[in-house]
Amino acid sequence: MEKIKLIATATFGLESVVAQELRDLGYSDLTVENGKVCFTGNLQAICKTNLWLRTADRVKLKLGEFKATTFYELFDQTRALPWGDWLPADARFPVEGKSVKSTLYSVSDCQAIVKKAIVESLKERYHKEWFPEDGPLYKIEVALLKDIATLSIDTTGPGLHKRGYRTLISEAPLKETLAAAMLILSRWDHNTPLIDPFCGSGTIPIEAALLGLNIAPGINRSFVSEDWPSIPKELWRAEREEADKLAQLDRRLYIIGTDIDPQVLRVARRNAEAAGVGKYIHFQARPLSELSSQRKYGKIICNPPYGERIGERKEVAKLYREMGQVFQQLDTWSFYILTSHPQFEKLFGRQATKRRKLYNGNIQVQFYQYFGPRPPRMA
């Protein structure tokens, strides 16, 4: 079981970001596909990637992939996979499924067939006729795409965006994984001043602090595969100890989060404290019109209101015009703005240097990037 196949799932548009994160962690055998990055690792890779991936949704163990156009094929090939290498006799193994452009289109039938095939496989391994399913959780997925079935086991549990710090949330929160992706795509680093003028519950500033201090985003949470007997506890312990050593807590960061609502800022401060980065972020109750900085260069990275509701459209259009005027005062800064508004550039008053299509939940958005002048090199 030295080499295993793994899948890091990703929101559409972020696959290349996840792939680069995996390369940075030392994994080179990658295949980038829609919504996922497949890679090869070992047991340690399950621990490392769950702890360190900032932009992936979850990490799955890939048990097998094969063509299946009949239930017989699905049953036989699922049964032949090495389920007993991973699932103990008391494993809980619910089966979820999805089918896209496949002959076997009934998801419920596919789930039932896969469940039955796994039971038969485990009967052979453990010489038992009945399994209590009262032990560790192994959530299995059968995913059919154009008649190709992929069988996987989730190693993560609650999605990787659940870092463990956001106990209180504001309305329409930005996912932590998308906030981290915005920071990585903007090429922000710990030496660069950062302002989020619409910080809400603080997700972008908190993710920036975690990134800037090189804190593993999963360090304060647990993962479902920590309960698996096939992964030694020592591996998890060693990876957590290594992550603690790699944190750069002595760095000085310039991160400011502002919002017009003092109540939501109280939530942001609590979230930042829960993440262990409260002292690195300065939250201020401030209207957009008062945005300013004494720093010559920096980045504004933000997720302003979109105006998705009809009653908000005029108000949001006015806000975007104001953004264009206020941001212009920081004419040596770079701006990175996420919104679904189709007229954003026109309202903002400038065409973006670059734009990238992403998804915020089910909403298609654009990540508008405005590059300021490059800061002079430090001597």
Q: Which two tokens stand for residue 108?
A: 């419920």
Q: Which two tokens stand for residue 253?
A: 């960061």
Cα–Cα distance between 299 and 329 in angstroms, integer?
13
Class of domain 4-154: alpha beta
Q: Are 38 and 15 in contact (CB under 8 A)?
A: no
Spatial CA neighbour of 372 closest among 195, 190, 176: 195
- pLDDT one-digit tens code per residue, 346-376: 999 999 999 999 999 899 999 999 999 988 8
pLDDT in tens, the chain (379 residues): 579 999 999 999 999 999 999 999 999 999 999 999 999 999 999 999 999 999 999 999 999 999 999 999 999 999 999 999 999 999 999 999 999 999 999 999 999 999 999 999 999 999 999 999 999 999 999 999 999 999 999 999 999 999 999 875 555 679 999 999 999 999 999 999 999 999 999 999 999 999 999 999 999 999 999 999 999 999 999 999 999 999 999 999 999 999 999 999 999 999 999 999 999 999 999 999 999 999 999 999 999 999 877 668 899 999 999 999 999 999 999 999 999 999 999 999 999 999 999 999 899 999 999 999 988 876 5
Query: What pLDDT is recorded for position 172?
Result: 60
Q: Are 14 and 55 in contact (CB under 8 A)?
A: yes
Report CA Rg, the chain: 23
Q: What is the pTM of this model?
A: 0.95
Query: What pLDDT is recorded for position 378?
Result: 60
- Say which residues have a Cβ less than 8 Å from residue 50's Cβ, sequence separation at least 6: 59, 155, 156, 160, 218, 223, 225
Query: What pLDDT is recorded for position 146?
Result: 97
Q: What is the DSSP string of 287-348?
A: -GGG---S-SS-EEEE------SGGGHHHHHHHHHHHHHHHHTSTTSEEEEEE--TTHHHHH
CA dihedral 227, 229, 235, 240 (to 10 degrees): 10
- pLDDT one-digit tens code per residue, 17-56: 999 999 999 999 999 999 999 999 999 999 999 999 999 9
Query: What pLDDT is recorded for position 376?
Result: 83
Residue type, 183: L
Q: Where in the chain is the domain with CATH 3.30.2130.30?
A: 4-154
Q: Where in the chain is the domain with CATH 3.40.50.150?
A: 176-370
Spatial CA neighbour of 176 closest among 14, 345, 61, 26: 14
Architecture of the domain spanning 176-370: 3-Layer(aba) Sandwich (3.40)
Query: What pLDDT is recorded for position 312?
Result: 81
